[in-house]
Amino acid sequence: MSRRVVVGVFDDEANLLGVTQEARAEGLKILDVYTPYAVHGLDAAMGLRASRLPWVCFLAAITGAALKLWFEFWTTMVDWPLNIGGKPWNSLPAFVPVTFEVMVLSAGLTTVFTFLVLARLRPGKRPAMLFPGVTDDRFVLMLEESDAQFDLVRVRRLFEKFGVVAVEERIEEAGCPGEL
């Protein structure tokens, strides 16, 4: 399935924020926004809901810490008890640093890999270059021509209000956003 998209190219952060806010207020369907750097406030302007990635991080941290703690108790108390400086087998303070490190490691790696999988990023993937300028100094808003009501003239007028640099209409193949 393919869909028709309208791409507006802007040259300024403030204009992009403004046009995104108005496009959303007018009920236009925002497919995505491409910027050369992270623009503060853009997530709110696009109406993105909060990322659930922190939950992945939190759960991975808890799981990693719990498993490591259990493993340390098992090795030093059950499987191969060693007398170290006359300390009791179950010496919790000695386990804390390693538990902490493993917690950070498992949380960090799990978060990164979850993100890569969700964002469908993998080695050798062809970069989806919507408009070369977004790696430099251009800001791009991509709208979907959702139905017959979509009024290109009105959208152009909206774009021009925010000093649009270029407007393009494209046909996009499903499954590869931006690979046109």
In the chain, % helix, strand, coil (3-state, to 5) comes to 50, 15, 35
Q: Which stretch binds another protein (CB under 8 A): 62-70, 94-102, 125-133, 152-160?
A: 94-102
In the region spanning residues 110 to 149, those forming contacts with another protein, defined by CB under 8 A, are: none
CB 36 within 8 A of CB 136: yes
Please state, in angstroms and rounded to a whole number, the distance separating the CA atoms of residues 134 and 129: 9
The contact pattern for another protein, residues 49-78, with x = CB under 8 A and - = no contact, is -x-------x--------------------
**Closest approach of Cβ 87 to another protein, in Å?**
8
* Residue entry with tokens 């939190």: 58
**Closest approach of Cβ 129 to another protein, in Å?**
28
User: Kind of pairing, strands 166-173 and 139-144?
Assistant: unpaired
The contact pattern for another protein, residues 4-43, with x = CB under 8 A and - = no contact, is ------------------------------------xx--
Compute the CA torsion angle 164, 170, 173, 177 (nearest 10 deg).
Answer: -10
Please state, in angstroms and rounded to a whole number, the distance separating the CA atoms of residues 160 and 24: 16
Number of residues in contact with another protein under rule CB under 8 A? 10
Contact set with another protein (CB under 8 A):
40-41, 44, 50, 58, 85, 93-94, 96-97
